[in-house]
């Protein structure tokens, strides 16, 4: 039985391991393993993840079956929009509805928001297909996905918050 809950400090090592595993499985073929390692060392360190636990106007969730974490999501409000910064599901657990569970829970955490926005690597076809199936539409592109100066281009997708329609 999978359930979604707020992430805590005790989860950070396992969240980091989940992110490293998922990033290598997803992005090695796109960016190369060395670049993925460099990104995960910087973006997914326990110290960086720990800061997210206390960021204002944010929600940091994990999908947990009681034995292991299957997925994670982090989002933050920006005006009337929820910016989905991260949503990852372990490769072996993908296709089981876990991403949808995390997305639904994120949506419910921000009653003041009217839309949800995210950035996704266009070459990550599985993620793009997931978001389109969830009702997202492409609205633009960015040149610095993840952080200022990253040089990583991404497609921007958004949709109205379902209960706000």
Quick one: pLDDT band at residue 156, thresholds 50, 70, 90?
very high
pLDDT at 163 over 80: no
Q: Is the pLDDT of residue 79 over 90?
A: no
- Provide mean pLDDT across the span 4-13: 96
Per-residue model confidence (pLDDT) at position 154: 84
pLDDT bin (cut points 50, 70, 90) of residue 143 is confident
Please check whether residue 164 is in contact with residue 114, taking contact to mean a CB–CB distance below 8 angstroms: yes
Model confidence pLDDT, tens digit, residues 29-75: 988 999 899 888 988 999 999 999 999 999 999 999 999 999 999 99
Mean pLDDT, residues 130-140: 95
- Runs of H (alpha helix) within 1-138: 12-31, 33-43, 46-53, 98-108, 125-133
Predicted confidence at residue 95, as pLDDT, reads 92
Mean pLDDT of the chain: 90
Domain boundaries, the chain: 3-164
Which backbone phi and psi does 66 adopt, to 5 degrees? 95, -15
Shortest CA distance to 145 belongs to which of 108, 112, 119?
A: 119
pTM score of the predicted model: 0.91
Q: How confident is the model at residue 153 (pLDDT cuts 50, 70, 90)?
A: confident
Write down the pLDDT at residue 54: 94
Q: What is the CATH number of domain 3-164?
A: 3.40.630.30
Distance CA(121)–CA(152), nearest Å, equals 8
Q: In the structure encoding, which two tokens stand for residue 122, read together?
A: 């266009």
pLDDT at 165: 47
């Amino acid at each position: 039985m999978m359930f979604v809950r707020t992430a805590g400090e005790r989860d950070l090592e396992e969240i980091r391991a989940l992110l490293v595993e998922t990033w290598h499985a997803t992005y090695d073929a796109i960016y190369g393993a060395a670049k993925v390692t460099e990104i995960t060392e910087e973006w997914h360190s326990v110290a960086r993840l720990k800061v997210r636990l206390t960021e204002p106007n944010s929600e940091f969730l994990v999908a947990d079956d009681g034995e292991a974490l299957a997925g994670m999501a982090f989002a933050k409000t920006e005006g009337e929009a929820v910016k989905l910064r991260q949503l990852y599901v372990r490769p072996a657990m993908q296709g089981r509805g876990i991403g949808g569970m995390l997305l639904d829970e994120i949506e419910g955490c921000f009653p003041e928001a009217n839309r949800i926005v995210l950035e996704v690597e266009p070459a990550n076809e599985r993620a793009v297909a997931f978001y389109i199936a969830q009702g997202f539409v492409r609205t633009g592109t960015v040149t610095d996905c993840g952080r200022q100066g990253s040089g990583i281009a991404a497609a921007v997708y958004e949709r109205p918050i379902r209960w706000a329609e």
